[in-house]
Chain A
Amino acid sequence: MWDYSDKVVDHFLNPRNVGEIAEPDGAGEVGSLACGDALKLTFKLGPDGRIADARFKTFGCASAISSSSALTEMIRGMTVEEAERVSNRDIADYLGGLPEQKMHCSVMGREALEVAIANYRGEGDGKKRQLEGEVVCHCFGVTRKDIERVVRENRLSKIEEVTHYCKAGGGCESCHDEIETIIDQVRGAADVAEAPPAPAKKRLTNIQKIRLVEETIEREIRPRLRLDGGDIELLDVDGNRVIVAMRGNCANCLTAKFTLKETVEAPLREFVSEDLVVVQEDNDS
């Protein structure tokens, strides 16, 4: 049995705003019987330009029904511009979280809202979501744009997560390589955007290299080790060999070897030079 939050159960057993508005200002319909869930969202604006009424009809599991119900509650009273900013995460958070495998229910809510808003603005017929651009997952009709968006907005890094959030890759699995490429592209772009200006990986002089190693340890590595009560000391840089000593908890840690590779060597290779090898000081000599 799923571990649903009390709020999910409440919205499933007592769904709010079930129905369809007769002459809506915006209507959005997403999903299909084949996919196992579908949602029709309609809304009407009040004289103040805010959403006065929002109603849903949903075919799907408990979390699909709860997500739809929550969505209608959330957007009531919002302006269209405010509603436009509601993300799938907001819906999940409103419900006190959703099981990871059910996150696609919150994405379906956000998608229906998007279609309904587009319909309100006179774009699209509100009946069906236009598949924009290249379809990557043919089993569930998920486009590159859809996948890029869930990866970006929910900081996903695994194919499995992408499947949980938008179903892509959950059928025949033949699109898994493509999804992986999309994740890499989106994550790559995000890293560039978030990271401080990346040092050009040109040939470095020895002094430059040592400085960069020090900076990277300070910025990327030491904070992570300290979280676990450990520390690191840079002893020497000899050609492409970086010699370090692990301190604190890291010194006696059974997984220190793993830490060295994952937490120390990987960022140094990324930010300094790809041919760096990190070695621990030799205690015996």
Chain B
Amino acid sequence: MNVYLDNNATTAVAPEVTEAMMPFFRDRWGNPSSMHRFGGSVAHEVEVARERVAALLGAHPNEIVFTSCGTESDNAAIRGALARLPDRRHIVTTKVEHPAVRTTCRWLRGQGCPLTELGVDSKGRLDLDDLAAAITDNTAIVSVMWANNETGAIFPVERIAEICKSKGVLFHCDAVQVAGKIPIDLSRTRVDLLAISGHKLHAPKGVGVLYIRRGTKVSPLIMGGHQERGRRAGTENVPYIVGLGRACELAMETMAEENVRVRAMRDRLEAGLLERCPGAVVNGDPAHRLPNTTNVSFEYVEGEAILLLMDQVGIAASSGSACTSGSLEPSHVLRAMGVPFTCAHGSIRFSLSRYNTEAEVDYTLEQIPRVIHRLREISPYVTSERSNASRAQAGA
């Protein structure tokens, strides 16, 4: 059995999405900017897609800019906003951002922009008083993710948006992990800039969105033609934009399901793992979390080894272990949360989607305890009593 539990990394392209895209590879290859029938009808489809994305986000279609990926959107938001605010240089962000934001902010620090990276507590939560206190007269932009990709922890974006508005600074939100999983309503949440990525919600890789609230001034990152109302040059990636539009439409239809059925499967998986694998703990904030994500640390075993043994039995997930990334230190998110090293190296992120089944959860619950037990038998930190306990649980 092949079980894909790595949906925060990327998702399967929905069959409906592929189907919607195909005509734009075959007959409808026109350039939307062209003044003839080849372009005109295609331009219309791009606008339909824009409306669908806007509907998912509770935004106006004019506020939607198509980009090539979530990382481009994050770059365009932060760098583009700073370019229009020459008198303000300070950036406020968190220690648990995705590299798309983290690396961009750190690069900007090297370019002379003071940077504040806010810490989080052991559950990965921000202190909003810290956030408010960090904002100064020199602050140009605050960039905080809506939900963390590794733990699924959801940040109080509405309140962060209020703080930023009251202090008169821009708020950019990396919502890549949130779009399609939980409701976003930008007509109520005063976010100025927001990034999403197609391939996290069952559209293909190679398309993203930058939301720019009306009236927010942002210099384009990519210059050239007048496409996207001058906010992002380059001929539109029509098939992918159409695909993303369809994916957003599907997400609106399935979000309720995601929050009930997927959440229930996630909870059953998590409870089962904790029960069957002694020395397993959940990382993050179980009370405020994406419905599809759980991050579990297995003490005294190492993440890469776990993943490779899981792969042997067809189960795919991710790890915050150092070895999987080629660096020597475990995930910056888990370190910022102060997760002890005994756990950080053995952390595994399981992220589900609406395509997962109960049978897959059963299979995973049957296999993972065996994998953990097998590695614990090799581990010098596992005493024979611990090993016996895990053997009993694994049914090995």
Contact = CB atoms under 8 A, between A and B. Distances in A.
A34 B380 contact: no
A170 B305 contact: no
Contacts, number: 71
Contact of B300 (A40, A59, A140, A171): A59
Contacts of B312: 13
A59 B341 CA distance: 13
Contacts of A35: 328
A2 B341 CA distance: 23
B305 A34 contact: no
A59 B377 contact: no
B323 interface: yes
B74 interface: no
B379 interface: yes
A64 interface: yes
A65 B312 CA distance: 16
A33 B341 contact: yes
Contacts of A59: 300-302, 378-381
Contacts of A34: 341
A36 B380 contact: no
A58 B374 CA distance: 12
B322 A65 contact: no
B328 A163 contact: yes
Contacts of B327: 170
A2 B323 CA distance: 10
B358 interface: no
Given A33-B345, A36-B321, A60 B328 contact: no
Nearest to B330: A36
Contacts of B300: 33, 59
A29 B381 CA distance: 11
Given A62-B308, A170-B327, A15 B378 contact: yes
A237 B345 CA distance: 61
Contact of A57 (B302, B328, B341, B379): B379
Nearest to B323: A61
Nearest to A41: B380
Contacts of B303: 61
A57 B326 contact: no
A39 B308 CA distance: 19
B302 A37 contact: yes
Nearest to B299: A33
Give 10 nearest A-B pairs by CB, closest first.
A170-B328, A61-B323, A57-B380, A61-B304, A40-B380, A34-B341, A59-B379, A101-B326, A36-B345, A36-B322
